[in-house]
Amino acid sequence: MQRQLAPWQAYRAGHDLADVLVVKAQAGPAESAGGPPFSGADGAALTAALPTLGWGDHNWCGLLLAPPGQAVLAPQELRLLLEICDPLLIITLDAEARECVWQALTGDSAGDRSPDLEADWPYGTEISLLGRQLLALDDFETALASAPAKQRVWLQLKKGAVNPLRSQ
């Protein structure tokens, strides 16, 4: 696994064999300041939130599609990474990541698919696509700075990311 993922080390954070894969499109403040992917508030929030939803401690891997100083992941590369990581749940953290994951899994570019991705994959709703469980959050990292927005994305996360396999 490590060897397969080595070419994308600058794009990844977390644990390679995690059940949850989170994807964000653009670097946040921590990454822009030279930190590794998910080294800011978003990584801390995910580390705190996912165990409360039944996913266990440190059971997530993160992909940053456009790290500073690196090329943006192409849809084919993203699809390959999704297949290598083989998570139980993929969570996109912003609209651009949602679009990129959709394109990687379906092969549909923005001009080729139906124009209303919101109807096909609404924020906060878990869907199944090609055998993958997907959840889209609405601008997760930015929302962490505002109490009402933070509450909105927490509700989206709670609605769609509760581990169905966790023991009660």
Cite the DSSP H helix spans in 53-146: 75-85, 95-106, 117-120, 140-143
Write out the H or E segment, with its range, that includes residue 152: helix 147-160
Annotated domain spans of the chain:
2-160
Q: Encode pLDDT of 100-141 as tens digits.
A: 999 999 886 655 555 567 778 888 889 988 888 999 998 999
Write out the H or E segment, with its range, that includes residue 147: helix 147-160
Which is higher by pLDDT, 10 or 64?
Answer: 64
Note the pLDDT of residue 164: 75
* 168, pLDDT greater than 70: no
Q: How many other CB atoms sit within 10 Å of the CB of residue 46?
A: 23
Tokens coding 46? 């995910």
Note the pLDDT of residue 95: 93
Over residues 87-102, the mean pLDDT reads: 95
Tokens coding 163? 């581990």
Of 133, 132, 141, 102, residue with least CA distance to 120: 102
The domain over range 2-160 is classified in CATH as 3.40.470.10: yes
Write out the H or E segment, with its range, that includes residue 30: helix 29-32
Which is higher by pLDDT, 161 or 111?
Answer: 161
Find residue 48's DSSP bridge partners: none
Tokens coding 134? 């997907």
